[in-house]
Structure 1
């Protein structure tokens, strides 16, 4: 499961880079630039959820070792 989350996070970083390339900083809230901005925010939310998941798995493993 650890490798899977690292792969997903790596793919998310690639997608963030792709979406940053599509941004037009002169017209940030128009057309494709807005879609790219929404994509970046969505990907960052997914990464935060994956990191929370990894942290909860780590805590669960430590609790199981104590019992």
Structure 2
């Protein structure tokens, strides 16, 4: 599960970097720029979710080891 989460984080980061090249700062909310912004936001959400998953797995392991 850990490697899956890290893989998703790396892919989401790469997707965010790729879509940041699609941004046109002169017309940020038009055309391909809005698609790039939405995809960057989705990538950040995926990264946050995977970090939450990894943190919860660490907490679960600590709780199990105390019993």
- What TM-score do the two structures reach when normalised by structure 1? 0.96
Identify the structure with bigger relative contact order (alpha carbons < 8 Å, sequence gap 6+).
2
RMSD across aligned C-alpha pairs, in angstroms?
A: 0.6
Count of equivalent residues: 67
Unpaired runs of 5+ in structure 2?
Answer: none
5+ long unaligned stretches in structure 1: none
TM-score by length of 2: 0.96
- Judging by fraction of residues, say which structure has more helix: 1
